[in-house]
Amino acid sequence: MKKYQTLGIRVFFLAMFLFIVSKIVAELEQVGGFEVEDRTIIVITPTYRRINRMPDITRLSNTLSHVKNLHWIVIEDGVSTVPAVRAVLERTGLSYTYMAHKTAQGYPAKGWYQRTMALKFIRENTSRILNTDLREGVVYFADDDNSYDLRLFNDFIRNVRKLGVWAVGKVYLGFAGGAAVEAPKVVDKKVTSFDALWVSKRLFAVDMAGFAVNLKWILRTNAVFGKTCNRGDGAPETCLLEDLGFDLAPALLYNSIFQNNREILVWHTRTSYPKLQGTDTFGYFVEN
């Protein structure tokens, strides 16, 4: 009997030890411990040929080149990739994937199909992207014409363990809804809804630039961007997040640091098209 009592005590203390270790690891992740630093940010960027594409993607490349442990997936809406774009990606020194998928019939020409193909690529090539089976990742959709603060990637996206959301500023004319900012509404440190003028009834009334998803949740389902999204009244974000299994549960993360300061770290911008008086490029590469 004494032998079993001793064994029981040892099992009890072992269980307590393992519990304490798990709590410490979780806290390290929350404050930027070693696991967070090793977590790879996977950025998905659909792109297409246009006269202002090269300055847009050059500007984005200059931002992402300052972010460590990042894999950049760029998807061309076309039948082939563009050498000038590949050259930009090479100059960043980042790990990247560049592929071409022309928008399939029935999909809107808004990058939905390209993001879908990127998600499928991630699920089929996870180990290759992470360069190991042990590291974690976070998936973020970054359009090539938006403006991003480095702190968004380094201080928040990499810390997302499930789903993260944050404010997005709108600065170009003609945006549907006319809101200067779309942001999560936080009550008692919990996201209860979203401050958005356009179709605010959406469960996730977020901009494509306003959320990131931990890779584990991407790999749990086959959810992609469909041809339509009735739940979003035409906006695809809420359909993807709901299909991934998310709801407004307490586990939903938001950018508490910048929420308090009311800082915006990503802006939904758009480069205006120039009014050209001539088409001669004098031998230089210019898309049109």
Instruction: List pLDDT tens digits, range 205-231.
Output: 899 999 999 999 999 999 999 898 888
What is the domain count for the chain? 1
**Residue 140 covered by a domain:** yes
Lowest mean pLDDT among 92-96, 104-108, 249-253, 271-275: 249-253
Q: Per-residue pLDDT averaged across 60-68, rounded?
A: 97
Residue 43, φ and ψ in degrees, nearest 5? -100, 125
pLDDT surpasses 90 at 254 = no
Number of Cβ atoms within 10 Å of the Cβ of 49? 13
The closest of 253, 225, 252, 227 to 239, measured between CA atoms, is: 225
**Contact, 133 vs 127, CB < 8 A?**
yes
Residue in this structure with the two tokens 């193909």, named with its chain if needed: 117
pLDDT surpasses 50 at 266 = yes
**Residue 31 covered by a domain:** no
Q: Was 143 annotated as part of a binding site?
A: no
**Residue 123 covered by a domain:** yes
The tens digit of pLDDT for each residue in 1-32 reads 555 556 555 655 555 655 554 544 444 444 44
DSSP E strand stretches across the chain: 40-47, 70-76, 95-100, 137-141, 147-148, 163-165, 168-170, 181-187, 190-195, 211-214, 253-254, 266-268
User: Which pLDDT does position 177 carry in this prediction?
Assistant: 57
| Residue 186: domain span | 40-268
Please tell me the distance from the alpha carbon of residue 21 to that of residue 115, in angstroms, as a whole number: 38
Encoded amino acid at 233, one letter: D
**Residue 10 covered by a domain:** no
**Residue 178 covered by a domain:** yes
Residue 92, φ and ψ in degrees, nearest 5? -70, -25
The tens digit of pLDDT for each residue in 26-50 reads 444 444 444 677 789 999 999 999 9
The closest of 99, 111, 94 to 41, measured between CA atoms, is: 94
Q: Which of 237, 242, 263, 287 is catalytic?
A: 237
User: Which pLDDT does position 218 carry in this prediction?
Assistant: 96
pLDDT surpasses 50 at 56 = yes
CA 245 to chain centre: 17
High-pLDDT (> 70) share of the chain, % = 80
Longest Cα–Cα distance of the chain, Å, equals 96
Burial 201-219 (b: 16+ CB within 10 A, else e): ebbbbbbbbbbbbbbebbe
Number of Cβ atoms within 10 Å of the Cβ of 71? 21
Q: Per-residue pLDDT averaged across 185-202, rounded?
A: 82
**Residue 134 covered by a domain:** yes
**Residue 142 covered by a domain:** yes
Q: What is the DSSP string of 82-119?
A: -HHHHHHHHHHT-EEEEEE-PPPTTS-SSSHHHHHHHH
**Residue 2 covered by a domain:** no
**Contact, 214 vs 137, CB < 8 A?**
yes
User: Which pLDDT does position 16 carry in this prediction?
Assistant: 60
Encoded amino acid at 221, one letter: T
Residue in this structure with the two tokens 């979003």, named with its chain if needed: 232
Lowest mean pLDDT among 84-88, 122-126, 248-252, 277-281: 248-252
CATH code of the domain containing 203: 3.90.550.10
User: Which pLDDT does position 105 carry in this prediction?
Assistant: 94
Known catalytic residue: 287?
no
Q: Per-residue pLDDT averaged across 56-69, rounded?
A: 97
Q: Per-residue pLDDT averaged across 89-93, rounded?
A: 97
pLDDT band, residue 265 (cuts 50/70/90): very high
